Amino acid sequence: MCILLVTPFLSEQDADHLYGMIGAPQYVNVWNEIHAYFIWGYADKTELQILAEIDNYDKTHLKAAPTNNRLFLGEWCMGGPPDQTGIFQNLDNFRELGRKQLAYYNADITGGWAFWTWRHSDETIKRTGWSMRYLIRSGYLKLS
pLDDT tens figures, 23-82: 888 999 999 999 999 988 888 899 999 999 999 999 999 999 999 999 999 999 998 776
pLDDT at position 103, please? 98
Dist. CA 101–CA 36, nearest whole Å: 9
Sorted by sequence, the CB contacts under 8 Å of residue 56 that are 6+ apart come out as none
Q: Are 47 and 89 in contact (CB under 8 A)?
A: yes
Q: Are 29 and 3 in contact (CB under 8 A)?
A: yes
Residue of 104, 21, 36 lying closest to 68 (CA atoms): 21
pLDDT at position 141, please? 97
pLDDT tens-digit series, residues 97-120? 999 999 999 999 999 999 999 988
Rounded to two decimals, the pTM is 0.89
pLDDT at position 19, please? 85
Banded pLDDT at 84 (limits 50, 70, 90): low
pLDDT at position 11, please? 82
Polymer length of the chain: 144
pLDDT at position 58, please? 96
Residue of 61, 40, 51, 39 lying closest to 109 (CA atoms): 61
pLDDT at position 30, please? 93
